[in-house]
Amino acid sequence: MISALLKYQFLQNAMLAGLLSSIVCGIIGVIIIEKKLVMLSGGIAHTSYGGVGLGYLLGFEPILGAFLFAVGGALAIGRISRRKSTNSDVVIGLFWSFGMALGILFIALTPGYPPDITSYLFGNILSVTQSDILLMLCLTALVVIAVASFYDTWKAFLFDGEFAAVMGINTVRLNYILLVLVAMTVVVLIRVVGIILVLALLTAPAAVAGLLTNSFGKRIFLSILFGAVFCLAGLWISYTLNIASGACIVILSAVCYLIVYILRGRRRAAQHKVESRS
């Protein structure tokens, strides 16, 4: 694998894509779990499929279409969900289905043979191009800068929104910024695990980190670390066994979470027994 990595450009692209993905999913994953925005993130991811179909129909890069639809869908969901009379779950479900339906329609209307959209639905980290890397690098940089520059503000917003508002922080604006960051993260992850599996990679590393520490900063660090391990290990398995990369990465993530969850439960049970005896 190491010799092949030094020899083949597509493997270098894949490794870099995995590292960039681990950074954004590590940062944004912790935030969306803390804010309970997991299903909303899934809605944004599936809405982006409409942009993939539009890209094929009009002849431009599908990932750019996914970016436009993801950002537009995120802002629209956020705006509509703010109305007190609106059920946010209904809005998310409608955008989720509408985006997928639009993608199917646009692809059906595309002239010629139907395009292969498997890599956009289920991911193929081995097919990441240098243009994909450039887009992922730009989006990752924006996410890191946006979170790092206002780190303390984000902490106040996440853990006590009412207190943050009293302190003069514009929580409405932060909420919209967060939705845009989620949309950008989704676009970064699409080429790695696909639209269908984005939600798993976005949440699994952060969930594992949450089982190990309550510190916000440590959770982000561990989440990035776990994300990198999952992506690179999944890449190695995918290349070695010639199987779907997105599925490998997600299965590793889920299995790791279950193992950590079980071990943590047993440790707590053992501590409880020791305390009860004493």
Q: Residue 259 — very low, low, confident or very high, per pLDDT cuts 50/70/90?
A: very high
Q: Residue 256: its pLDDT value, please? A: 93
Shortest CA distance to 27 belongs to which of 159, 205, 163?
A: 205
Max avg pLDDT among 7-16, 151-160, 260-269: 260-269
Between residues 73 and 164, which one has the greater pLDDT?
73
DSSP code string of the chain: -HHHHHH-HHHHHHHHHHHHHHHHHHHHHHHHHHTT-HHHHHHHHHHTHHHHHHHHHHTS-HHHHHHHHHHHHHHHHHHHHTSTTS-HHHHHHHHHHHHHHHHHHHHHHSSSSPP--HHHHH--GGG--HHHHHHHHHHHHHHHHHHHHTHHHHHHHHH-HHHHHHTT--HHHHHHHHHHHHHHHHHHHHHHH-TTTHHHHHHHHHHHHHHH---HHHHHHHHHHHHHHHHHHHHHHHHHHT--HHHHHHHHHHHHHHHHHHHHHHHHHHHHHHHHH-
Locate tokens 């590292």: which residue?
19
- What is the mean pLDDT of the segment spanning 214-220? 90
Chain segment 220-245, per-residue pLDDT in tens:
999 999 999 998 888 888 888 888 88
Q: Residue 166 — very low, low, confident or very high, per pLDDT cuts 50/70/90?
A: confident
Cβ atoms of 193 and 29 within 8 Å: the answer is: no
Mean pLDDT lowest among 93-107, 161-175, 226-240, 244-258? 161-175
- What is the mean pLDDT of the segment spanning 201-205? 90
Chain segment 1-31, per-residue pLDDT in tens:
566 665 777 788 888 888 998 999 899 999 9
Cβ atoms of 243 and 237 within 8 Å: the answer is: yes
- Cα separation values, 191 from 8, 184, 226, Å: 18, 12, 19
Shortest CA distance to 92 belongs to which of 28, 174, 182, 154?
A: 182
Q: Residue 101 — very low, low, confident or very high, per pLDDT cuts 50/70/90?
A: very high
- What is the mean pLDDT of the segment spanning 243-252? 86
Q: Residue 49: its pLDDT value, please? A: 92
Paired tokens of 215: 């510190």
Between residues 267 and 218, which one has the greater pLDDT?
218
CA 38 to chain CA centroid, nearest Å: 10
Q: Residue 11: its pLDDT value, please? A: 81
Query: What is d(CA 178, CA 181) in angstroms, rounded to the nearest whole number?
Result: 5
- 168 φ/ψ sector (left φ>0, alpha ψ -120 to 50, else beta): left
By percentage, how much of the chain surpasses pLDDT 90? 31
Domains of the chain, CATH where assigned: 2-277 (1.10.3470.10)
Contacts of 222 (CB under 8 A, 6+ apart): 26, 205, 208, 209, 212, 213
Q: Residue 224: its pLDDT value, please? A: 93
Q: Residue 37: its pLDDT value, please? A: 86
Chain segment 47-88, per-residue pLDDT in tens:
999 999 999 999 888 989 999 999 999 999 888 877 766 677
